[in-house]
Amino acid sequence: MSGSLLHAGAVIGCPHGGRVTPAAMPSGGVRIGGAAMATSAHTYVVTGCPHTVDGVPSPCAAVRWTAADTGVTADGSHVLLDTSAAQCFSAALVPQGPPVVQAAQRKVTVR
């Protein structure tokens, strides 16, 4: 699997237009362009999702990433790539589709 490494400053959205951000990123550790590198150990939350089902609000609340074994780890966890598999979930853990990672300048590429 190849792709660009994700970091705390990456622009990511849910499939309905909500904003995906890391819940907390370490102040130290590996950094890319000054931003903390994202790994499979980090938790991502969704805010501002307008999704409804039959008129009932069912916003995306979290994202679960599946980090492929690229052979690259940071702080003992697999790094996340812009091509890593992921799924957005509602607060009731209902799958709601994959997040959308906005194309960014490639600072580091894993092949």
Question: For the whole model, what pTM was predicted?
Answer: 0.82
The residues with which 77 forms a beta bridge, in sequence order, are 74
Query: What is the residue-level pLDDT of the chain in tens, covering all 111 positions?
Result: 577 888 888 899 999 999 999 887 666 678 877 888 888 888 899 999 999 999 999 999 999 988 767 678 887 888 888 888 999 999 999 999 999 998 655 555 555
Please give the C-alpha separations between residue 13 and each of 20, 27, 41, 110, in angstroms, as whole numbers.
5, 23, 19, 22
Q: What is the pLDDT of residues 1-18, one digit of tens each?
A: 577 888 888 899 999 999
Gap between the Cα atoms of 109 and 105, Å rounded: 10
